[in-house]
Amino acid sequence: MSVLHLLGTAGDGGAETYFVDLVRALARGGVPQAAAIRKHPGRQAALAEAGAPSTTLAFGGPFDLFTKGKVAKFARARRAKIALAWMNRAARHTPAGPWKRVGRLGGYYKLKYYKGFDFLVANTEDIADWIVRQGWPAGKVRVIPNFAAEPPEGPPADRAALKTPEDAPLLLALGRLHENKAHDVSLRALRALPGAYLWIAGAGPLEAKLKAMAAALGVADRVRFLGWRDDPAGLYRAADVCVFPSRHEPLGNVVIQSWAHGLPVVAAASQGPAALIRDGDDGLLVPVDDAEALADAVRRLLDDPLLKIRLIQNGHERVASEFSEAAVVAQWRDLFADLGGP
């Protein structure tokens, strides 16, 4: 008997990364699993390594008449007790059957895709409250946060290889090159931080626009566009400050990962980071779309070593008490047990 994960997206992003992290964590916790995903060699290899049998399906649009039936066949073959859908596309192709259907929501998704589901899991209190306000029964929603993956052993990323001086203040920004992630705000802030460098790890549709903006602002020589990276731990270790100015961010997994890696974080006060961060205690918050405030907060951190130490220590404590792998896996196992799963 197993939990069947469904992931219908083919790209690389925070949700897809956490999907793999959770499958691996549940495997370490002894939960039998399988997965139906879109073709992605990297994820397929990660699932195999975690001992989770997988099948690749189309997960197409409204005219895809075959994926749902193939999911049902695979679910029966794996004796699935729970079908866990990650995001809307997967939910649309999750068939009814002798298993419980659970939707995992990391954002404010359209609930029409989850009609008939048995349970919803939100990764923040705010998303859970929003779900209930849409008319979903309060007794059929639970909050299970993301966990911070244990940082693997290894050295910092090589600054020299990325043409970054060893003694330069280094800012790290992670996330898709998308309007919501507000990398443009980080670029404008960099102009007010002479001598500092900025690494941007992520891929997306705004890459050309952001590179042109960096050139127009006169900071292109101090910005490194790293593309999608599978080795974020080295980046966290090499940087001095994580900047996270997202305009729209339901959770802010980068915040949790920064805490786990001992990197102080400055974030915009969008929904997720504002709910996570205790301003001045375990991170610094600035107004959304305010490059000057972002630069001021970074400068404050760079100039105040004691503040930096306090944020790092308190962030570590938050991870240990609220966002550890063990704590989050225990919550998932409790939910699976409540629903008659493994």
pLDDT of residue 213: 98
CA 251, CA 145: separation in Å to the nearest integer?
9
pLDDT of residue 230: 82
Residue 101 DSSP symbol: E
pLDDT of residue 341: 85
Domain topology for 2-147+324-338: Rossmann fold (3.40.50)
pLDDT of residue 231: 85
Architecture of domain 160-321: 3-Layer(aba) Sandwich (3.40)
CA 65, CA 72: separation in Å to the nearest integer?
13
- Residue 254: enclosing H or E segment and its boundaries? helix 253-261
Residues of the chain with pLDDT under 70: none
Domain boundaries, the chain: 2-147+324-338, 160-321
Residue by residue, DSSP assigns 270-316 as: -HHHHHH--BTTTBEEE-TT-HHHHHHHHHHHHH-HHHHHHHHHHHH
Nearest residue to 105 (alpha-carbon basis) of 120, 116, 84, 119 = 120
CA 309, CA 301: separation in Å to the nearest integer?
10
> For residue 124, what are its two tokens?
């923040």
Number of CB atoms found within 10 A of residue 26's CB: 24
pLDDT of residue 234: 96
Same fold, 2-147+324-338 and 160-321: yes
Task: Extract the runs of DSSP E, i.e. beta strands, from the chain.
Answer: 2-7, 33-37, 54-56, 80-86, 100-105, 119-122, 141-143, 170-174, 197-201, 223-227, 241-244, 265-268, 284-286
